[in-house]
Structures are given as structure tokens and as C-alpha cells.
Amino acid sequence: MKAKNKIAALMMVLSLTLFFFQCSKDPQIPSPQVTGVTFTVPHGWPQPVYNFEENTLTDAGFNLGRRLFYEKKLSRDGTISCGSCHQQFAAFANAAHARSHGIDGQFGKRNAPALFNLNWQSSFMWDGGINHITVQPLAPINDSLEMDGNMNDVIAFLSADASYRKMFKETFGDETVTTQRVLKAFAQFLGMLVSSNSKYDRIQRGEAGYAFTADEEIGKSLFNQRCASCHTPPLFSNFSYRNIGLEPNVALQDSGRMRISESVQDMHRYKMPSLRNVEVSSPYMHDGRFKTLDKAIDYHINKPYYMSNIDPVILNGQALSADEIQSIISFLNTLTDNTFIHDTRFSDPLYK
Ligand code: HEC
Ligand code: HEC
């Protein structure tokens, strides 16, 4: 009993010390600023859609965008930042959340997609409702289920904060905070999220010491036959909209691409997700209905739910055996980019 009490007391002292240590760190001083920010198109990749036109990439602009991405005060009650739903260890998807919690614990309609290689995309969101990387942040900031903020409040908050004013001056030459400047800084951070250092990439580049295992090779050849026409390398998406036969969740009333195009042909079509980093971005699909890759692939390929505009490639495709699915997963795991997931340039600047 006595020993137990001693241990409990010790634990208490330890946790209190830790608590005070953490509180004494001034959260307003960001950790080392990132320097030498440059954007390069990975070897063998197509030219990006967005190349920071009229938004010259600078260290100051990137650092401002990075801080804004993790700034909870952009939300109405100061509880939610972009980083709350887009977590780096999950390749900036929302780990373990089928549909993200926004403000007041409310659930949105859709699964937060992983964020990387965004400069190669000409449209955003599962339905492609946003067509430029520079306007994307306005959607979550204003969404009543996500951050429920508005740009007037955001501008007032940033203008009243001396450390932000300094960062705006370093980036844009003077302290004025405008919507356009906020969006430019966001685009610099978002556009820099390039994931191109997976085992697969290293093998593609012929780096010494990297080779596929026998199982990964089997998976790769199955992937090329059955998946690559849609999840096309090197981005592992052709960014088209397809209906792959996921039984609609009636409660969500989500018509997919049709919401934007208003064409019945687009009912339940969703934007092709990239399969890079898919090992760490669970749960899967636009509504996060599957927790594991084998379930996601089994339903996607073997158990499509019939709808009139279901993709013929899926409808007419042959079933995959459990072994084949496992080999494909082995191959997909070679698309995990640990350098990207642990890159401290992209982590929360206040706590690292
Ligand atoms: C409450 C959770 C939540 C917050 C907070 C949030 N997002 Fe998202 N994000 C999502 C969801 C869910 C989607 C998909 C929405 C859809 O398809 O309708 C998404 C989509 C995106 C996309 C599109 C990705 C693609 O491949 O199409 C980008 C980029 C993005 N968010 C960036 C941000 C930024 C920047 C912020 C902060 C200003 C932010 N998000 C805040 C949940 C969130
Ligand atoms: C006809 C085009 C097409 C083909 C072929 C295809 N997919 Fe997909 N895949 C999609 C679309 C579209 C989605 C998103 C569907 C949604 O969420 O509604 C998707 C989603 C996925 C997801 C979930 C990704 C995530 O981040 O949520 C995985 C995993 C996946 N596909 C793996 C595969 C594999 C493995 C193959 C080959 C055996 C394959 N796909 C073949 C179109 C295709």
C-alpha cells in the first residue's frame, strides 16, 4: 500500500512538472522558421497545374501559410484549425474519422482527403466543387460544420496580432492583412506538400538498395492490369469522376459530382483519390465507410452495388481473390512516403 502511494505521489509530481514545463513554453513563438523553400517537379512527373503564378514562393510566405494551417483562431470559437482534420501522420487525412468533427463536435458529410501533390490537381473536394488551390481554404473557414468562421473576423484577428503583422510584412512588404494575402500564403504551404519519396519512387529513380519483394512485384503487375487506368501513376489518380458502385448512404443525401454539374449522369460519381500514402490515410472512400484496405478493395472490386451509371470497368471486371488483394496491398504499401509524413517543415510550428 505504502509503495503504491509513493508511486502515485511520484507520478503526480512528474505529471505536474511536465504540465508546467509545457505551459511555460510561450506558444506564440514558433519553432525554427523553415528556410530554403523551393518547389521542384519530381523526376518523370508531368508539369503541375499550379506553379505559384503571381504568388512567388518565399520562405516568409511558406512559414506564414504553415502557421495559418495550424491556427485554431481562424475558427469561430478558436478550437479548430486545418490541422485538426488534416493530420500529418495520416498524410494530412483525418485518422480514424470517417467524417471529420468540425466545430461544436458536428459531423460533416464527407471524409477529409489526404493532402499532397495538390499543385497537380485542377479541382478539389470529392465532387470537384472548387477549381483553384488558392480559393480552397475559404470553404472550410466559412463552412458552418467545419470552422464556421468568416474572413472579416479572420482579418481582424490577424491584424490585431503583432507577430502575424510582422509575418505579413516579411511576406508582402507591409503589414496589411487582406483575404488575397491570406489565401496566397495558404497556397504556398499547401502547394509545397509534395510526396515523392516512397519506396516506389526510389525504385523508379533507380536508387541503390531499393527493390520490390516478390509479393510486391505480383501486386504491381495486378495493379497495372486492374487499377492503373484510373489510379494512374505517377500521381496514382487521373482525377476523373467515377461511380464505383458504393451503396449510397441515404441519410447523407450526397449526390457526388452531380451536386456541381447538375447532370444526372454524374450521380454518385466522385473524384478519383490518389493511392499514394493510402496505408496511413484510413478510413477510405468519400464517406470513410471502410477502415481497412482489404475491405475497401474487396467492396470496390468484388461487391459493387448496381447503379445505372456505374463504371463499366468496375461492373465488368473479374473478381480478385483474397491473395490477389493482399499482393496489391503489399504493392500499395510501397507508396507510403515516410519522409513526407515526418517532414518537420510541414508540422505544427508552435509545438515542434
Ligand atoms: C472539420 C474538418 C476540416 C477542417 C477544419 C478543414 N478541412 Fe479540409 N477537408 C475536409 C473535408 C471533409 C474535405 C472534403 C470535403 C468535400 O469533398 O466536400 C476537405 C477537403 C480539403 C481539400 C481538398 C483536397 C482534395 O484533394 O480535393 C483541401 C486542399 C483542404 N481540405 C484544405 C484545408 C485547409 C487549408 C483547411 C483550413 C483552412 C481545412 N482544409 C480545414 C475537412 C476539413
Ligand atoms: C474505374 C476507375 C477505378 C478503378 C479501375 C479502380 N478504382 Fe479505386 N477508386 C476509384 C474511385 C472513383 C474511388 C473513390 C470512390 C468514392 O469514394 O466514392 C476509388 C477509391 C479507392 C480506394 C480508397 C482510397 C481513399 O483514399 O479513400 C482504394 C484503396 C482503391 N480505390 C483501390 C483500388 C484498387 C486496388 C484498384 C484495382 C484493383 C482500383 N482501386 C481500381 C476508381 C477506380
Summarised one tens digit per residue, pLDDT across range 168-192 is 999 999 999 999 999 999 999 999 9
CATH code of the domain in which 137 resides: 1.10.760.10
Work out the mean pLDDT of the chain and round it to a whole number: 91
Interval between CA 344 and ligand 1 midpoint (Å): 21
C-beta of 185 in contact with ligand 1 (< 6 A): no
Cβ neighbours of 9 (radius 10 Å): 10
Q: Are residues 59 and 91 in the same domain?
A: yes
Give the residue, by CA position, lying nearest to ligand 1 atom 35: 137
The SS3 of residue 270 is: strand
Q: CA of 175: how far to CAs of 55, 138, 163, 178, 184, in Å?
A: 17, 21, 10, 10, 15
Number of domains in the chain: 2
Cα–Cα distance, 333 to 324 (Å, whole number): 14
Interval between CA 208 and ligand 2 midpoint (Å): 31
Interval between CA 203 and ligand 1 midpoint (Å): 31
> For the residues 201-222, what does the mean pLDDT come to?
98
Q: Are residues 281 and 175 in the same domain?
A: no
* Least distant ligand from the CA of 229: 2
* Least distant ligand from the CA of 335: 2
pLDDT attached to residue 6: 56
Summarised one tens digit per residue, pLDDT across range 78-105 is 999 999 999 999 999 999 888 877 888 8
Q: Please, are residues 290 and 296 in contact by the beta-carbon 8 Å criterion?
A: yes
Cα–Cα distance, 127 to 261 (Å, whole number): 9
Give a yes or no: residue 18 inside a domain: no
Q: Are residues 289 and 234 in the same domain?
A: yes
Containing structural domain, residue 136: 46-194+340-346
User: Nearest to residue 58, comparing CAs of 188, 175, 167, 176?
Assistant: 188
pLDDT attached to residue 8: 52
Q: Are residues 52 and 116 in the same domain?
A: yes
Q: How confident is the model at residue 20 (pLDDT cuts 50, 70, 90)?
A: very low
Res. 235: pLDDT tops 80 = yes
- Kindly state the cell numbers that stand for 151: 474572413
Q: Are residues 162 and 233 in the same domain?
A: no
Helices (H) then strands (E): counts for the chain: 14, 2
Ligand 2 binding residues, C-beta < 6 A: 226-227, 229-231, 242, 244, 246, 270, 272-273, 275, 278, 281, 284-286, 293, 296-297, 300-301, 311, 313-314, 328
Give a yes or no: residue 3 inside a domain: no
Res. 32: pLDDT tops 80 = no
